[in-house]
């Protein structure tokens, strides 16, 4: 047995998300970072490799070089983490799979749905695993919410309100930052706010409820003057019919001009028996409200909790876990898939609980339909997850 | 000087709202209840009058009798509070005005916009005041929010998220209650949830921001099987253009099937300088968030507060005021209009700060447009406040 | 049947507490203010009577005059509310009882324990009721807490932490205010902080738990330079032995120099089965925590609640009640004692649930022992409730 | 440059704290675990080493073996983490220092003050660093609190209320757990609750305020029947005189029978200008309250923050950091001391900000004095930090 060996593409230039991925990957001591192509500037990439205490010959000037040279090593990396700007995700993932590396990728998976469908084909032909870092599903209480709903605690789900408010793009000078610039660049993608955070909210909704979004009515806005992509938006949701012929409804709010809201993702789910409430800023609490009795404040570390919740917790009650631990759950569970394959260990529930290529497809279809729906004066638009959108 | 004398129509049969109005009216010792037509059953009306320690001859069997007989008294009532089911508001108000009584009425003011416009005409021909109990604008911190925005603390307003979640109509057996039955009866009105609470949210939004809602996209639902009117809904809002040609946007969520949410009205307003947050369940706190410094937690009783806020507070810091005090503010401020007229006192800011016939018109136009918009597959619908809707 | 008629002594000169008492008394429409001796300055008293719309002949220049003249009236007042500075409570109450008026008095009841014991003797010889406005026990959720503990939900009580933090005396210039001046004047009493708020905390503790404080260890402080009385203090509590020979312990913190804490009274009670938590700033919520399951968030208006809780609530779920409603509960329940006597109505649970002379005795014994204990270098001091303290 | 190499003593048998230390140590990628003596059972120690992917020859059967053999290696560990039961800390630390290893140790440092003073002498003769894992001082907002107070934002500190409530020892069957057993064993130490958590509260208080506790009045309890050591207690605090001759006061509450409170450490500090509030369960928020203006809600990630706060943060606003990140700050800052020495890097503020042997001495003196004070009927007891306690 050994640690799973990881390489990284991107994450070089003071990018917050690269450092986050590295902490998340290594937090549980199951994965070690062994190599990286952190920047297209070979000097920069090398410098970062040194800061990270990598072997000098494993800081590469390009991902192409990395994949080629690592493929030839005895102690080659097992998996690669892709944390570059969105547009390059597709070609990097393709090449990684071609060389037999498992891929974990920041969302969105590609630039458009066509690319993801190609990627899925390639994956099906390969032995590679694919993970998408929908971080928020890594929180233990999100898993608890899913478990409680799956066992029927809420009854039939009727309504979902999911909100994701950020404020960091509230002013035009925010665009000077590198992080802002590529997100708001129409050459890099068709959406900023929906692609960046709206899709997280949609994924969280489907993960917790087990329902699929089938139709949307969308109103995207470019609030800050001069922007071409959305920095704010609201999407009305219709979910696929349940077995009783009932369509649950929902509302998804996302904004990057919500000054002061930091990174405020929350979800409320209303069933015919009870409702459930979770907020990322207080992630260790889950509230269930009933029509006729006291609300239940469920806390990490206080039994009883679902098996999968417990398997994603590290500390006892009252020792707050946060964003990095949620992120680490995505990584350690993904690495567990690899470990189970390499060492022929029986498949675990944990290892299966990782967002993958199908979530990537659903997310991209969501983004594309929302953008189209927002431009239309027709109210409702079906999401076609098959890729045959024309 | 004396107390303002009030009569009441409705509020008889264990109706929660009648008792609330009576407490609110009398809380500050400026208004005394002198008569009532509490029920169409004269025995019931009489019994309630006794419970309320009224003079035996001032519990009337009908509002018609009350208006006629009170009009003839030396010590006649000054104002009447109308707390009957919505459909009867119009004719009661008409007759009250005809007899020269000031009217304070539970919302909505009438059954439709046409009626309100008639009522407004009648009011303009009379010397009567008209007040509409949009209770939530009575909260001191709502007034503080309005004052802060008016003085520019938020900069240009860009986005409003207003939510009003209740759960008391979540199950079909709830309809057995008298309160539920008339609200859900299509013969009584065109909307349940929007007419009952959505309109409060719309009013609160316009009161705090000073902006006018100009267009809506609506999705109303009858969640509980068998219902003909909405028990849930979402409305996307576009506000009238500001002086820079910018249209702020908004989202209004209202539901009466949100199990466990009690009576959860909240509003978040995002400007280009700061955002503001208020929630009715914690009414004595107002939060302002900034992009680059600590959030400010503004509390009742802790200076500095706007003059009008202070004028609507009764207790020092840390002594929570609640719903009844907010309601009492509507009443005492309305009675102040009457007092100023009777006793020729100079007009005060407080007395002017009462929702009246124009808010009634705006609310009804909002409800009617939302209902029509929800039935349409066209996304956006203008609200015509003129009443010339064909 | 009629309203109970009330007079007031004190509450004249812009004193916050007088206005609060008047609102509380009249909020439920069961009591009417008919007369008052609001100030020793007869012009001032008369002016206040006018503001309150009293009959001109019922604003008195002194309480002596009021008691004498009211006693002679057909429509004489039934009860008197005493809201003067502490030192005068005793003699006013004595004279009121002598004239056969029921007494409701701001706490503390008298200047010292000796006086209260005399007062109790006088009451026992009379037909008068006596109520003490320990306002915080008027909150519905405080009553719910008491009911839950009485029925054993917490098991054996082991520990109580009660805190009452205010900040309004944090600076020496606060003493310029009339409210501050008499509280801090050693000629007016032996304690400021403990007599003013510590005693509320002690009363709340005994009311909720049903336990009696038997011993104290105290550390009182005069934090602001130059003060002679305490403005801050901590008291360690030992409760009387329970039937298993176990002494619960507690900690009582009180401060008037806790800048920014407004009026922050909270209590946590720990049993061997569960713990219970309530905080006055969020009074409509009661939390019960368990060792091995979700915490229960009990909210006003959400059943099931104890009968007495419901009897002290006016609004449905999600319509916050506050300090004035809690205060009104004290008044309306006290007036119910009088009403039951006058109209020979069977005694109700509500009417019995009012703090009276025995709570006054316990409170004064607590204050006196705490002051003595603080001055001693011996750790523990028994409270002698018998008055034989010598 | 390379990672700092760490060994571990203890942390073997499903002990929660061992795993926590390992995550904390490795979270930032600056320290690698290279060896361990995880259990006195060599098979167990070996098995754990395998689980942690250590080299087979570096899982030792005893710390003695580890120190001897590691001392002889070229790639010897730099530092050792001691996470055994308290009683063994002293001898392990002594031997580690003798072999030239830097020591980071779970608190308390030793069994008694005498031992710590010996340890300090040994350290002064050595080149070794010593760190004590007072984890809670690792939180960024605790550092921010310290910085704000140091720069005078609160004015003169007058009062501190620090509370540390846990519930995990509330029932006697809890003692069956290994974690409980040694803590409650009088042969292992003189105190359970104060030694385990009270000392954290005392340390947090001194860290944030910069004040030293000089005298205590203590009331320790063995709440659960049959226990010989304290499972609950309250300590009144007097701080050393400030430059104006003023003694601030405080209250320290600690309990392990506070059912449902999880791990609830909070602190409130009152100055003459403002007060400051922090709670471990919501660690990313710091509140400052003022007498005459809005409270400030300071959040991690929202500037301006002190330099040291920022240096202990990993994520942007709204991405909660928790207990493991706070713990990691202790580790990474301690390792920075070592790194600066090895690689001759200039000393940084971060590296200096680690609790060390002096905090260990203060903590032990606090525990010993509190235990003695609790047994005495004299109220106040001076803490003698010199070790000459007789």
Domain locations along chain A: 4-128+328-355, 139-314+363-374
Does residue C299 sit at the B interface (CB-CB below 8 Å)? yes
pLDDT of amino acid A261: 97
Percent of chain B with pLDDT over 70: 97
pLDDT of amino acid A14: 63
Percent of chain A with pLDDT over 90: 89
Structure confidence at residue D390 as a pLDDT band (50, 70, 90): very low
Percent of chain D with pLDDT over 70: 97
Q: Are A11 and A18 in contact (CB under 8 A)?
A: yes
Record the tokens describing residue A209, joined without a space. Answer: 């409820």
Per-10-residue mean pLDDT, chain C, length 390: 96 82 97 96 94 96 97 98 94 98 95 94 97 98 98 97 97 78 90 97 98 97 95 98 90 98 98 98 98 96 94 96 98 98 95 96 96 98 73
pLDDT of amino acid D15: 65
Does residue B199 sit at the A interface (CB-CB below 8 Å)? no
pLDDT of amino acid A248: 97
Residue D14 has pLDDT above 70, yes or no: no
Q: Which residues of A touch C278 (CB under 8 A)?
A: none
pLDDT of amino acid B266: 98
Structure confidence at residue A385 as a pLDDT band (50, 70, 90): confident
* Alpha-carbon span C252 to C236, nearest angstrom: 6
Q: Which residues of C touch D259 (CB under 8 A)?
A: 270-275, 289-291
Nearest to A136 by CA among A309, A231, A11, A265: A265
Q: Report the pLDDT averaged over residues A138-157.
A: 98
Does residue A274 sit at the B interface (CB-CB below 8 Å)? yes
- Count other Cβ atoms within 10 Å, centred on residue C175: 18
Q: Which residues of A touch B234 (CB under 8 A)?
A: 236, 249, 251
First vs last C-alpha separation in chain B: 49
* Alpha-carbon span A137 to A371, nearest angstrom: 24
Q: Which residues of C touch A299 (CB under 8 A)?
A: 294-295
For an interface test with A, the pick among B259, B261, B269, B274 (most A C-beta atoms closer than 10 Å) comes out as B259
Residue B359 has pLDDT above 50, yes or no: yes
Q: How far does the CA of residue B215 sit from the closest CA of chain A (Å)?
A: 13
Asked if C322 lies within 8 A of B317 by C-beta distance, the reply is no
pLDDT of amino acid A15: 66
Q: Which residues pair with D131 in a beta bridge?
A: D104
**CATH code reported for the domain at C4-128+328-355:** 3.40.50.720
For chain A, the maximum distance between any two Cα atoms, rounded to a whole number of angstroms, is 65
Asked if B53 lies within 8 A of C316 by C-beta distance, the reply is no
CA-CA distances (angstroms) from residue A53 to A71, A373, C81, D359? 21, 48, 78, 33
Asked if B302 lies within 8 A of D288 by C-beta distance, the reply is no
First vs last C-alpha separation in chain D: 49
pLDDT of amino acid A387: 60
- Angle at CA of residue C307, ends C302 and C312, nearest 5°: 75
Distance of CA C18 to the CA centre of its chain: 14
Residue A184 has pLDDT above 50, yes or no: yes
Contacts of D265 (CB under 8 A, 6+ apart): D136, D162, D163, D164, D165, D197, D200, D201, D204, D279, D280
Residue B136 has pLDDT above 70, yes or no: yes
pLDDT (tens digit per residue) in A38-81: 999 999 999 999 999 999 999 999 999 999 999 999 999 999 99
Q: How far does the CA of residue B27 sit from the closest CA of chain C (Å)?
A: 5
* Neighbors of chain D by Cβ distance (3+ pairs < 8 Å): A, B, C
Percent of chain A with pLDDT over 70: 97
Phi and psi of C255, rounded to 5°? -155, 145
Instruction: For the full predicted model, state whether its pTM sits above 0.90.
Output: yes
DSSP class per residue in B254-318: EES--TT--EEEEEEEEESS-EEEEETTSTTEEEEE-SSS-EEEEETTSS---HHHHHT--S-TT
Does residue C3 sit at the D interface (CB-CB below 8 Å)? no
Asked if C16 lies within 8 A of B315 by C-beta distance, the reply is yes
Q: What is the overall mean pLDDT for chain A? A: 95
Q: Report the pLDDT averaged over residues A351-360.
A: 96
pLDDT of amino acid B213: 97
Q: How far does the CA of residue A267 sit from the closest CA of chain C (Å)?
A: 19
Q: Which residues of D touch B300 (CB under 8 A)?
A: none
- Angle at CA of residue B124, ends B123 and B128, nearest 5°: 45
Question: What SS3 class is residue B185?
Answer: coil
* Alpha-carbon span A243 to A224, nearest angstrom: 43
Does residue D232 sit at the A interface (CB-CB below 8 Å)? no
Asked if C263 lies within 8 A of B317 by C-beta distance, the reply is yes
Q: Report the pLDDT averaged over residues D146-170.
A: 97
Which candidate from C3, C317, C320 shows the least CB-CB separation from B322? C320
pLDDT of amino acid A242: 85
* Alpha-carbon span C223 to D272, nearest angstrom: 10
Asked if D314 lies within 8 A of A23 by C-beta distance, the reply is yes
Nearest to D126 by CA among D90, D153, D96: D96
Does residue B288 sit at the D interface (CB-CB below 8 Å)? yes
pLDDT (tens digit per residue) in B170-179: 998 767 787 8
Q: Report the pLDDT averaged over residues A135-151.
A: 98
pLDDT (tens digit per residue) in B153-163: 999 999 999 99
Residue D344 has pLDDT above 90, yes or no: yes
CATH of D139-314+363-374, one of 1.10.4160.10, 3.30.360.10, 3.40.50.2300, 3.30.70.3450: 3.30.360.10
* Alpha-carbon span A254 to A193, nearest angstrom: 7
Asked if D16 lies within 8 A of A322 by C-beta distance, the reply is no
Residue at token pair 């915080």: C136
Contacts of D13 (CB under 8 A, 6+ apart): D39, D44, D178
Contacts of B47 (CB under 8 A, 6+ apart): none
Q: Which residues of B touch A275 (CB under 8 A)?
A: 167, 258-261
Q: Which residues of A touch C293 (CB under 8 A)?
A: 302-304
pLDDT of amino acid B389: 43
Asked if C294 lies within 8 A of A288 by C-beta distance, the reply is yes
Residue at token pair 């006794």: B50
Note which residues in 139-178 of chain B have CB less than 8 A from chain C. Answer: 166, 168
Which candidate from B249, B260, B378 shows the least CB-CB separation from A275? B260
Residue B369 has pLDDT above 90, yes or no: yes
For an interface test with B, the pick among A234, A242, A257 (most B C-beta atoms closer than 10 Å) comes out as A234
Record the tokens describing residue C278, joined without a space. Answer: 């309530």
Q: How far does the CA of residue C363 sit from the closest CA of chain A (Å)?
A: 34
pLDDT (tens digit per residue) in A258-303: 999 999 999 999 999 999 999 999 999 999 999 999 999 999 999 8
Contacts of B57 (CB under 8 A, 6+ apart): none
For an interface test with C, the pick among A276, A294, A300, A309 (most C C-beta atoms closer than 10 Å) comes out as A294
Asked if C294 lies within 8 A of A296 by C-beta distance, the reply is yes
């Amino acid at each position: 047995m050994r640690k799973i060996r990881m390489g990284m593409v991107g994450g070089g230039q003071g990018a917050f998300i690269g450092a986050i991925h590295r902490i998340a990957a290594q937090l549980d001591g199951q994965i070690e970072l062994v190599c990286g192509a952190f920047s297209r500037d070979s000097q920069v990439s090398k410098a970062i490799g040194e800061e990270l205490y990598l072997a000098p010959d494993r800081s590469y000037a390009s991902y192409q070089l990395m994949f080629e040279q690592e493929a030839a090593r005895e102690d080659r990396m097992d998996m690669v983490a892709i944390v570059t700007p969105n547009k390059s995700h597709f070609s990097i993932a393709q090449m990684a799979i071609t060389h037999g590396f498992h891929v974990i990728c920041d969302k969105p998976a590609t630039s458009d749905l066509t690319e993801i469908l190609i990627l899925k084909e390639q994956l099906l032909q390969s032995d590679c695993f694919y993970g998408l870092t929908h971080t928020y599903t890594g929180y233990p209480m999100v898993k608890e919410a899913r478990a409680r709903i799956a066992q029927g605690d809420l009854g039939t789900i009727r309504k979902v309100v999911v909100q994701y408010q950020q404020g960091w793009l509230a002013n035009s000078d925010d665009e000077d930052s590198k992080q802002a610039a590529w997100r708001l660049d129409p050459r890099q993608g068709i959406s900023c706010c929906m692609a960046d955070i709206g899709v997280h909210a949609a994924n969280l909704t489907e993960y917790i409820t087990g329902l699929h979004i089938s139709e949307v009515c969308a109103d995207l806005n470019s609030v800050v003057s001069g922007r071409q992509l959305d920095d704010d938006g609201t999407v009305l949701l219709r979910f696929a019919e349940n077995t009783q012929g009932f369509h649950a409804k929902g509302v998804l709010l996302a904004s990057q001009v919500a000054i002061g809201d930091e990174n405020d993702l929350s979800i409320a789910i209303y069933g015919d028996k009870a409702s459930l409430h979770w907020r990322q800023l207080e992630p260790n609490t889950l509230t269930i409200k009933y029509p006729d009795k006291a609300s239940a404040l469920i806390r990490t570390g206080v039994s009883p909790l679902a098996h999968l919740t417990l398997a994603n917790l590290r500390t006892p009650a009252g020792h707050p876990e946060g964003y990095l631990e949620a992120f680490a759950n995505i990584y350690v569970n993904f690495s567990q898939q690899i470990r189970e394959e390499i060492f022929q260990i029986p498949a675990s529930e944990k290892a299966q609980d990782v967002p993958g290529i199908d979530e990537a497809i659903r997310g991209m279809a969501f983004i594309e339909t929302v953008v189209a729906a927002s431009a239309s004066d027709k109210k409702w638009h079906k999401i076609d997850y098959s890729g045959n959108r024309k």
